[in-house]
A and B are shown apart, each in its own frame.
Chain A
Amino acid sequence: MSMALEDALAVITKQRSRRVVISTMGSVAVWPELSDSPLDFHYIPSSMGQGPALGLGLALAQPNHGAIVLCGDGSLLMNLGCLVTIAQHPAPLWIVLLDNGQYEITGGQPVAGAGRTDFAALAKAAGISRVYSFEMLLDWQNAAARIFEGDGPVFVWLRIIGRPGIKTPSPPKPMMEQIVQLREALAVDD
């Protein structure tokens, strides 16, 4: 069983509190429909696979806020080493893996190891102690409050229904406008 991306992300809107939410790739098409916060950062244009690393840096710089990174499986596979780095540097960081088993934007081609890779085992083996895995929306909804309490890093693996062939999303605001807005919200001097 899998869950719709919109439903999976709606759970996070209720739990994100003051955390920065970094959306990447396909989630950029949905997150702005659910949230309009200066602490939203739509990471497009991006370097694919670098969302978790960007989030780690932000979480280390802003421990009173912390960060949630919405990351696809294709993206995470491009930078699996980030799990080891994240485990080694404790920070208020939540990696939410949105696993649909495919590269949606390029037409729905399967990612390497689609349906076989155990991302929870990878995260645990990397040294992240708080790891969660959900296939059913209801289970994710029921556990979310507990998951977003306590210390990071946290890794959440969600099985998502793919939407092959969606267009490359555009962020609702240009990147430089987003950066100014985020820094103001974080009270960071330019």
Chain B
Amino acid sequence: MVHGGAIIDVLQRLGVTHVVWIPDSEVGQWDAALAVAESLRLIRATREGEAIAIAGGLCLGGCRPLVVIQCTGLFEAGDALRNMVHDLKLPLVFLIGVRSARMAKAGQSSDTCPVFTEPILDAWQLPYVWLPDPFGPADLETALERYYKARHAGAVLIPE
């Protein structure tokens, strides 16, 4: 897992101003670094749809947020995603942890998270790209940059 300091460097180079998140057990390891980062502000939300709406307000107001959630929260947050990305056409970028993706790939998981993540993203018409497993800072930067540079909404998926 990439350490928090490297994540901060990536996000700083991308001009990310706020990370709006509900951490899972993997990206949660970045919490300490994000909390004290000088180049961005960490916003802790209570629910994933709320995180998306906060990011929408930040984006409307001229900031560049990153929404970091787990796929379970994505499933919950569909209406907020639909509204912010499609009604308001805001170029929100998501970093989404996909629970049990590694085990599912090995045929060793009965968790339905990997089953539904891609179909849900397809249904919400949100383009996505997978990070390699394991991934490095350069992989993350390249994946996120494509959306920020194009000013287009999209998701980067972390196999967990």
Closest residue of A by beta carbon distance from B56: A54
Q: Is the CB of B57 within 8 A of A60?
A: yes
In the complex, which of the residues B54, B84, B88 contacts A85, with contact meaning CB atoms closer than 8 Å? Answer: B54
Query: What band does the interface of chain A fall in when counting residues whose beta carbon is under 8 Å from B?
Result: 20 to 34
Q: Is A188 an interface residue (CB 8 A)?
A: yes
Query: What band does the interface of chain B fall in when counting residues whose beta carbon is under 8 Å from A?
Result: 20 to 34
Residues of chain B touching chain A, judged by Cβ–Cβ distance below 8 Å, are 18, 20, 41, 43-47, 49-63, 65, 79-80, 82-84, 87-89
Task: Given A47-B80, A50-B80, A179-B88, verify A57-B49 contact (CB < 8 Å).
Answer: no
Q: Is A37 an interface residue (CB 8 A)?
A: no
> Which secondary structure dominates chain B's binding surface?
helix
A84 proximity list for chain B (CB < 8 A)? 46
> Which secondary structure dominates chain A's binding surface?
helix
Residues of chain A touching chain B, judged by Cβ–Cβ distance below 8 Å, are 41, 45-51, 53-62, 67, 79, 81-82, 84-85, 88-89, 175-176, 179, 182-183, 186, 188-189
In the complex, which of the residues A50, A60, A88 contacts B61, with contact meaning CB atoms closer than 8 Å? Answer: A60
A189 proximity list for chain B (CB < 8 A)? 62
Q: Is the CB of B62 within 8 A of A186?
A: yes
